[in-house]
């Protein structure tokens, strides 16, 4: 593990940009950006359009390491280039921003109140490619819908089991057991979740480093004991989870040490029809607001 990159991941006053919309979520992301389905007819054309969007974000003068710690990429993006360099290399070499890779294949059907990750066939091969392409870490998402202790235990077990496989390949896994912000008894779910995370973390080898990506908790600073005092956990980041950027920033700012890893909230207001000046100004305002909420 590159110690310079590890130190940046653990200590930089910045946040993570989630640019990892996959095949299922890409049409929605493009529509929000002003690209309608009538403007592409194949998956290849769709991914070309979203890569253009991501490239515009990454190359923007507003997108710098002063505010951005890392960027989460979709596998298709990892294999593409920006100005002749693989995306991960461009991020690090030109921007000093850590590249992460989304590795999950989506969610399984609801069972025991949770949606586990679907199987990830070929994960070892994907991790080998990620290492060769200078990816720093990975990200994988599952979702807690109901307060079901056995379901929550299973979701955390699955995340950590695959996380250890990822860490063994030389990457830092971002473990993301999201609690649906619309679920009932969310605070109770978060209590069971934290207990299971602490149980699993206690079983990790001392050299294993992980990150957590969690929903902004109901109770302010509820995850403070995960943010500090856990040597295996180098960073805890938050997803916006469906909150508007304004609401997400307000809630995030009340949770000291928790930094953002926003996707939809980051891109809110951006449009393919904006001039470069308008686009960069909108992105700069978005980044500044998220950054300010992340460094409290």
- SS3 state of residue 11: helix
> Position of tokens 């699993």?
200
Catalytic residues, by residue number, are 176, 213
Cα–Cα distance, 139 to 147 (Å, whole number): 24
With CA atoms as reference, report the closest residue to 50 among 40, 63, 61, 38. 40
Residue 255's nearest CA partner among 231, 228, 287 is: 228
SS3 call for 207: coil
Q: Return d(Cα 236, Cα 175) in angstroms, integer.
A: 9
Distance CA 176, CA 211 (A): 9
């Amino acid at each position: 593990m590159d110690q310079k990159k590890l130190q940046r991941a653990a200590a930089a006053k910045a946040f993570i940009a989630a640019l990892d919309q996959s095949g299922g979520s890409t049409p929605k992301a493009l529509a929000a950006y002003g690209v309608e389905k009538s403007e592409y007819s194949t998956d290849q054309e769709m991914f070309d359009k979203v890569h253009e969007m991501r490239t515009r974000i990454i190359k923007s003068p507003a997108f710098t390491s002063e505010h951005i710690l890392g960027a989460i990429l979709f596998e298709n993006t990892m294999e593409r280039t920006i100005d002749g360099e693989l995306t991960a290399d461009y991020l690090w070499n030109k921007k000093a921003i850590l590249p992460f890779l989304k590795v999950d294949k989506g969610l399984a059907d609801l069972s025991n109140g949770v949606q586990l990750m679907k199987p990830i066939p070929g994960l070892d091969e994907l991790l080998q490619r990620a290492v060769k392409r200078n990816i720093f870490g990975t990200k994988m998402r599952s979702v807690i819908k109901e307060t079901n202790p056995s379901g929550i235990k299973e979701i955390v077990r699955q995340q950590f089991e695959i996380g250890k496989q990822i860490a063994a390949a030389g990457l830092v896994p971002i473990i993301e057991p999201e609690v649906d912000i619309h679920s009932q008894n969310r605070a109770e779910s978060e209590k069971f979740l934290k207990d299971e995370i602490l149980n699993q973390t206690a079983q990790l080898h001392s050299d294993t480093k992980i990150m957590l990506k969690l929903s902004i908790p109901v109770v302010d600073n509820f995850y403070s004991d995960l943010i500090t005092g856990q040597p295996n956990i180098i960073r805890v980041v938050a997803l916006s989870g469906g909150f508007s950027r304004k609401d997400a920033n307000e809630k995030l700012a009340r949770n000291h040490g928790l930094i953002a890893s926003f996707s939809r909230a980051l891109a809110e207001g951006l449009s393919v029809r904006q001039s470069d000046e308008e686009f960069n100004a909108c992105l700069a305002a978005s980044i500044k607001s998220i950054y300010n909420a992340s460094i409290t």
